[in-house]
Amino acid sequence: MRFLPLVWSGIWRKPGRTVLIFLQATVAFALFGVLQGLKAGVDNAVAEARADLLLVHGRSGLFSFPLPVSLLTQIQALPGVKFADPVELFGGIYQNPSQKIGIVAVRPDPGWLSTFTFQVAPQYAEALRKTRTGTLIRTHLAKKYGWTIGDRIPLQTNLAQKSGSTDWAFDVVGTYTDSDVGGGNDTILVNYDYVDEARATDTGTVQHINVAVTDPKIADAVAGEIDRQFANSPNETETSSLRDLAQQQVQSIGDLNFLIHAIVGTVFLAVLFATATMLMQSTRERTPELAILKALGFSACTVSLLILAEAIFIFCAAALGGLALATLVFPFAARFVHGISLPGVTVAIGLAFGALAACVSAALPAVHAARLRVATALAAQ
């Protein structure tokens, strides 16, 4: 404790230099924080993806082949299934081709919400159920296009009606939000039964069936059971949970980790080199002062510990500053990766990293200070 004033005065011997080292290291740690935060966000997305929500697709590929909607009753009857709901997806444009809208057709029967990641107010869910041509819009679409409840929105789509027209119109009856990060933002919910009856082709089919299970632990078993039910039938299914799908997405960005490590490694290499030369120079400049300390009876070990302590202080301060800076960037970065966050363990790793970097960059100067011979150093003066 009694050495603290010595360390403190050593740090502020050349304030400009210290501040610059601090700033450089801060930037490096901010980068570290942002990249680790991104990774944590991606991991979070997987962990938070619902394991109890199964998606049943036709086996031949994700969106390629529709399943008959009649499978719904068989799936609903399986043990462990809480609710099953049909999902039909098609695309449309509002007014001009750059304003794309994803249309999600569902059956809003009581209990349907358990099979989705949507949040819908009860009165809106009720309104959708009662209005055949009704639609719930994502809250931000209401702002984007100025839609309000009661509006009738015309969409040009890629799905033909029996009349031959590919134009559809839906009545806005409410809004909803979606906690799932995938699937795009500009989406609206409409009634499956209305769409299915009105369309010219593929009547009686769905793109996938969403299934909520009673307990996430039995999700795998239920998924296997569903696929077994339809094995060797013309409608073979492939069932996976939302979490499985999220996991696969993350695996496909496999090089992300390599990229993060390479970049963080490079920036730290540069910082280490710069700091090491700076500290070396400052130790050399302080040779007479260090020699006086030794002459006063400080041991070689204590003197080099003083130098180390200075470096550790600067680096740890920079680590904290940088990580704090990173969290300031998060609200902006959250637009690209949802759930970006800085877990405690990353802060700990950052601090440990800081201490390690301090030791590495101060190693040579500390040795120099320890080896210093009092007589020669003072004589040089």
Partner 1 sequence: MALLQINLAGLPHRAGSALAIVVGVTCSVGVLVSMLAMGAGSRQQELGNVRADRVVISSVGGRGIAGNITRDELAAVQGLPYIRRSSTGEPIVVPEAIVPQQGRRRGTGVRIFFPLIGVGGEIGADEPELHVTAGRIFRQGLHELAASAPCARQFTGFDVGDHRSIRGTDWTIVGHFEEGKSQVCIVYADVDTLMSAFGRNSYQRISLTLKSPADFAAVRAAIRTDPSLHLEVQSEREATEEDFKPLNGLLNFVSYFLGGIMAIAATFGSVNSLYSIVDSRRRELATLRAIGFRSATVIATTLFESILLALPGAFLGSALAWALFEGMSVSPFGYSFHLVVTPSLAALGVVWALAMGLIGGLLPAVHAGRASVATALRAA
- Three-state DSSP string of 104-135: EEECCCCCHHHHCCEEECHHHHHHHHHCCCEE
- For 199, half-sphere exposure in the C-beta direction (CA atoms, 13 angstrom radius) is 20
Question: What tokens appear for 361 in the block?
Answer: 């960059």
Beta bridge partners of 87: 208
Q: From residue 134 to residue 173, what is the string marking binding to partner 1 with x (rule CB under 8 A)?
A: ---------------------xxxxxx-----x-------
**Closest distance to partner 1 from the beta carbon of 346 (Å):** 17
Rule CB under 8 A: say whether 30 interacts with partner 1: yes
Name 319's Cβ contacts closer than 8 Å, sequence gap at least 6. Answer: 25, 29, 350, 351, 353, 354
Rule CB under 8 A: say whether 336 interacts with partner 1: yes
Stretch that binds partner 1, among 13-21, 184-192, 290-298, 305-313 (CB under 8 A): 13-21
Rule CB under 8 A: say whether 254 interacts with partner 1: yes
Rounded to 5 degrees, φ, ψ at 379 are -65, -40
Of residues 30 and 226, the one with the C-beta less far from partner 1: 30
270-329 binders of partner 1 (CB under 8 A) = 270-271, 273-274, 277-278, 280-281
Please provide the size of the chain in residues: 381
Which listed residue (4, 77, 169, 263) binds partner 1 by CB under 8 A?
263
DSSP at 66: P
Q: From residue 198 to residue 237, what is the string marking binding to partner 1 with x (rule CB under 8 A)?
A: ---x--------------------------------x-x-
Determine the Cα–Cα distance for residues 188 and 101; give it in Å rounded to an integer.
7
Determine the Cα–Cα distance for residues 21 and 314; give it in Å rounded to an integer.
8
Determine the Cα–Cα distance for residues 51 and 44; give it in Å rounded to an integer.
13
Stretch that binds partner 1, among 1-9, 258-266, 304-312, 343-351 (CB under 8 A): 258-266
Rule CB under 8 A: say whether 60 interacts with partner 1: yes
| Residue 289 φ/ψ region, left for φ over 0, alpha for ψ in the -120 to 50 degree band, beta for the rest | alpha
Residue ranges binding partner 1 (CB under 8 A):
16-17, 20-21, 23-24, 27-28, 30-31, 60-65, 90-93, 97, 100, 155-160, 166, 201, 234, 236, 248-249, 251-256, 259, 263, 266-267, 269-271, 273-274, 277-278, 280-281, 336
